[in-house]
Structure 1
Amino acid sequence: MKFLMFGAAAAAVLAAGVPALAQDKKPDAPVEVREPQVRTTRMSGTFGGQKMNYTATIGETILKAEDGTPKAAVVTTAYVREPRDPNRPVTFLFNGGPGSGSVWLQMGAFGPTRVVIPSDARDDGAPPYPVVQNPDSILDVTDLVFIDPPGTGFSHILGKTEPKEFYGVTADAKAVAEVIRRWLNDNGRWSSPKYLGGESYGTTRTAAVVNQLEASTYNDVGLNGLLLISTVLDFAAGADTPGNELSYITNLPSMAATALYHGKTQGPPTAQFVEEARQFAIGPYAAALLKGQKLPPEERASIRRQLARFTGLSETYLEQADLRVTPGRFYKELLRDRGLTVGRLDARYTGKDYDNAGEEPDNDPSFYGIDAGYTAAVNQWQRGALGFKTDREYQSIGGLGAQWDWRIGGRDANAYLNVTPYIGKAMRENSGLRVFVAQGWYDFATPFFAAEYALTRTGIPQDRVEYHYYDAGHMMYVRDQDRVKLSRDIRDFIRRR
């Protein structure tokens, strides 16, 4: 029946001639108009010892389909020194997750204001959480643009857009790259030195975005530097999966630093003790793990003794764990005799579980110890001082991981994620691109030895990668001394371009 009806209709059109096509065509549905919200406030402050005027602009960038249909509203918060200089450095920053808003770097480290929480690994308690001027902001050496990708902060998908169009390593990177290009266009900043950086999954995003800016699509945005804060690039290096021996190797130096911090082992100062742990991990320990069940008894006993020295755990426990202690077990076991657990994001923090008999902690004390203060601060700042109007909740650490497309470069879902080659390619093709790596000794979410492992593989120009270490964990800037040091280190990195 459908074929017959189609044939009759076609005959009628042919008989009427070509003009009938135009007469019968229905008009296109009108494209939804979505006006972006933009709020600009003039402010002043003293940063890096320099008193200055600046504008704070929080606004939406509307990403559209080819037919003009709005697909996502991406909120950026830009701090630009006045009077404006088209040749001044500009730094684009975001956090990780995936699903985390830029609140952490913006309200904790680099923005012109920050939230005050305890510096000594105690929890942030109950409100109020003061928001104060941040003299450690790097606004004295670079303008700052904080980006909340779709699904983070106040940014969100519009209309009937499918989440898969933005929720994935490459899809997310394309969206962020478009926002950066749009900002450069709108602000006349193509001649500015440009820096790109993130924290945690934000470092993964940094590698994927630099691939979009320098190696894919238009290849038109040259960068001066990448800021990798609490780095995760090669996901196999930290995958706590049975049969993956690499994770035990890359986590061991972090365990050594933590055991030393809590007095569960004795040794030289942290940096020296960590170096001993590195050499043991990459040498005798790695060799023992690779031998598996063929490891000779004498060698096993030697490895067990050294492992006990570095981890602060008993040889009995290490033997029961077959010389392989996952981070989750370590958090629970290290201070079990004190009835305490240690944090994942920052192992300086301790918590108390429902009871002391469990295999792993109930929760991460280094996250619940700071999350309320940061969430309160970003809402107070962006809704209040900056005047952004929305009835949406700020997504500070939303969980998008289950919806995330982790595949890159046409690889299937069984291939592990490693974006380090993106950085290597960008560096080889841009002789002016340098990489700044910031790592905390007490970070198990993105262990420092895993970052070192990833960035010392083939294809990475080693003379343009620099490492900086801090006496805290994942968000090293929560410790006052480390916020000052991080600010100073990045300030020097930008000035040396």
Structure 2
Amino acid sequence: MKYRLGAAAVALVVCASGAAAQQGKDKEASPPPVADMKPQVVTTRHQGVFGGVRTNYSATIGETLIKNDEGVPQVAVVTTAYVREPRDPKRPVFFLFNGGPGSGSVWLQMGAFGPKRVAIPSDARDDGAPPYPLLDNPDSLLDVADLVFIDPPGTGFSHLIGKADPKEYYGVTQDAKLVAEVIRRWLNDNGRWGSPKFLGGESYGTTRSAAVVNQLEGSTYNDVGLNGVILISTVLDFAAGSDTPGNELGYITNLPSMAATALYHGKAQSPSVEQFAEEARQFALGPYAAFLLKGQRATAEERTAIRGPLARFTGLSESYLEQADLRVTPDRFYKQLLRDRGLTIGRLDTRYTGRDYDNAGESPDNDPSFYGIDAGYTSAINSWARGSLGFRTDREYQSISGIGAQWDWRIGGRDSNAYLNVAPYIGRALRENSGLRVFVGQGYYDFATPFFAAEYALSRTGIPQDRVQFHYYHAGHMMYVRDEDRAKLTRDIRAFIRGR
């Protein structure tokens, strides 16, 4: 262009004409105004065998546009719905999401319940390098329910649009309101208000589930009655997982997970993890809790009485426990348990082991149970969504994003320094909906959301106990990475859905 502008006048005319033409093309190629955005929706048809039943189904991946009061789109929420064909308006529908906050639904979709799953090692080994095969998933729940996977903004392909303010969407209550709106929209668009409805999430997705239940069933103008809430790797009361100095609750709720982990790695002895975990529960609730609550008023004799059993359950030496003031934080446990072998253990799944840069220090370099599986899942969702399902986008799929740093953790007008506890939302829903039941699935080797912490949160006053059922698995946070537990988890949830 610069060369032409320095040439003869006739060349300038040609150049000007070309520039005008280019401007016309640019105008044609520029994206439409935000107000005129059209959602992308793609439907394909497939067949598979799920739960032993051959099933024809449609897969619809598409954007739901959430608009402000002026009708301007603010958020594009991508959902992936698997619906049995021919369609049945009375068939159960199961809405699912993952956690984080900031985690896409890839984990539950490509690991547990979707019609396809990624092949990764079942025995707590690293997933290695590609290829990561996509397999038919006979454990998918499509034989008993239609499945709708939701990616809130900032996760998956979902995103804020234009000048949308993150503060309006990134928070416990803000996020729950948006997800509830997406669910209502899906029910409207698909004529499914008469269907039995189930809601489920994993990890922070269980926190989201409780908050969404509050939005769906706590509304007086547009209630959505639910048949069941499915909580996988549950975190409802955040005090149980806080390592804040002076908070003794975490030491109590973590102890049974330490015991299960010590047993798995040969640092403790017991006939079974179930028996050892129960012994650890009773010790934690009784002598250990009483000791911790005494603080520095505990006597030397009381310290001695606690130190021996604590060493038995944790697999750590009495001298190390004494140095830690008989209070071992999770990070220290991950690093110390197998230090004599030069190994660290995972947080999401303590069956996994890793090697750090060196064997010193108090905490691991990284979580071997996350870097041991993440590449396979990212590969799977991109291959499936962009390939077989035909979704077209230049956006990266956010399997784990950083929106948690912007999260508003306040609920009910509480100060941000208060511990978050959404378990009362579950209690209220159970009290006001006699047909609602709660399924809780926990892995023995999960330190991100320990099973005893889930038991603690859901045994509080105001939560009817006769409609809350617990199921346990011999893996960690994503228990479905273990083949035997994926099959058991889906069998248990099938029975739960059929038992409505």
How far apart, in 1, do the equivalents of 2:463 and 2:387 lie?
Answer: 44
Aligned match of 1:199: 202
- Quick check: 2:34–2:162 contact (8 Å CA) kept in 1? no
DSSP-derived class of the 1:56 partner: strand
State yes or no: 1:319 paired with 2:327. no
Q: How does 1:235-314 map to 2 (within 5 A)?
A: 235-314=238-317
- Quick check: 2:230–2:440 contact (8 Å CA) kept in 1? yes
- Quick check: 1:212–1:219 contact (8 Å CA) kept in 2? no
**Counterpart pick for 2:433 among 430, 435, 454:** 430
DSSP-derived class of the 1:467 partner: strand
**Counterpart pick for 1:216 among 216, 219, 224:** 219
How far apart, in 1, do the equivalents of 2:129 and 2:34 lie?
Answer: 47
Aligned match of 1:46: 49
Name the aligned partner's letter for residue 481 of structure 2: V
Per-residue CA distance 1:435-455 (angstroms, 9 max, x = gap): 000000000000000000000
- Quick check: 2:216–2:224 contact (8 Å CA) kept in 1? yes
Aligned match of 1:15: none
DSSP-derived class of the 1:39 partner: strand
Query: How far 1:31 moved relative to its partner?
Result: 6.8
Aligned match of 1:338: 341
Query: How far 1:268 moved relative to its partner?
Result: 2.4
State yes or no: 1:459 paired with 2:462. yes
How far apart, in 2, do the equivalents of 1:359 and 1:483 lie?
Answer: 33
- Quick check: 2:475–2:485 contact (8 Å CA) kept in 1? yes
DSSP-derived class of the 1:410 partner: coil
Query: How far 1:191 moved relative to its partner?
Result: 0.3
Aligned match of 1:476: 479
Query: How far 1:218 moved relative to its partner?
Result: 2.9
Aligned match of 1:129: 132
How far apart, in 1, do the equivalents of 2:221 and 2:197 lie?
Answer: 17
Query: How far 1:412 moved relative to its partner?
Result: 1.1
Query: How far 1:220 moved relative to its partner?
Result: 1.3
**TM-score relative to the length of structure 1:** 0.94
How far apart, in 2, do the equivalents of 1:78 and 1:353 lie?
Answer: 41
**Cα RMSD (Å):** 0.8
How far apart, in 1, do the equivalents of 2:253 and 2:324 lie?
Answer: 17
Query: How far 1:297 moved relative to its partner?
Result: 1.2
Name the aligned partner's letter for residue 303 of structure 2: R
Aligned match of 1:353: 356
Query: How far 1:219 moved relative to its partner?
Result: 4.5
How far apart, in 2, do the equivalents of 1:216 and 1:300 lie?
Answer: 51
**Counterpart pick for 2:171 among 168, 172, 176:** 168
Q: How does 1:66-215 map to 2 (within 5 A)?
A: 66-215=69-218
Query: How far 1:210 moved relative to its partner?
Result: 0.4
Structure 1 unaligned blocks of 5 or more: 1-29
State yes or no: 1:419 paired with 2:413. no
How far apart, in 2, do the equivalents of 1:322 and 1:436 lie?
Answer: 37
State yes or no: 1:379 paired with 2:369. no
Name the aligned partner's letter for residue 259 of structure 1: A
Name the aligned partner's letter for residue 181 of structure 2: E
How far apart, in 2, do the equivalents of 1:133 and 1:267 lie?
Answer: 38
Name the aligned partner's letter for residue 362 of structure 2: E
How far apart, in 1, do the equivalents of 2:383 and 2:322 lie?
Answer: 51
Q: State how many pairs are aligned.
A: 468
DSSP-derived class of the 1:139 partner: helix
DSSP-derived class of the 1:199 partner: strand
How far apart, in 2, do the equivalents of 1:217 and 1:171 lie?
Answer: 18
Aligned match of 2:399: 396
DSSP-derived class of the 2:469 partner: strand
How far apart, in 2, do the equivalents of 1:312 and 1:469 lie?
Answer: 22
- Quick check: 1:91–1:194 contact (8 Å CA) kept in 2? yes
- Quick check: 1:46–1:52 contact (8 Å CA) kept in 2? yes
How far apart, in 2, do the equivalents of 1:402 and 1:244 lie?
Answer: 23
How far apart, in 2, do the equivalents of 1:401 and 1:252 lie?
Answer: 27
How far apart, in 1, do the equivalents of 2:100 and 2:55 lie?
Answer: 33
- Quick check: 2:47–2:56 contact (8 Å CA) kept in 1? yes
How far apart, in 2, do the equivalents of 1:58 and 1:217 lie?
Answer: 31
How far apart, in 2, do the equivalents of 1:38 and 1:454 lie?
Answer: 40
Aligned match of 1:405: 408
Name the aligned partner's letter for residue 129 of structure 2: A
Distance 1:174 1:217, change over 3 A: farther
Name the aligned partner's letter for residue 480 of structure 2: Y
- Quick check: 1:31–1:68 contact (8 Å CA) kept in 2? no
How far apart, in 2, do the equivalents of 1:257 and 1:41 lie?
Answer: 44
State yes or no: 1:494 paired with 2:500. no
- Quick check: 1:346–1:444 contact (8 Å CA) kept in 2? yes
Aligned match of 2:8: none
How far apart, in 2, do the equivalents of 1:267 and 1:89 lie?
Answer: 42
Name the aligned partner's letter for residue 178 of structure 1: E
Aligned match of 2:27: none
Name the aligned partner's letter for residue 429 of structure 2: A
DSSP-derived class of the 1:457 partner: coil
Per-residue CA distance 1:412-449 (angstroms, 9 max, x = gap): 11211000000100110000000000000000000000
Query: How far 1:217 moved relative to its partner?
Result: 6.1
Distance 1:217 1:397, change over 3 A: farther
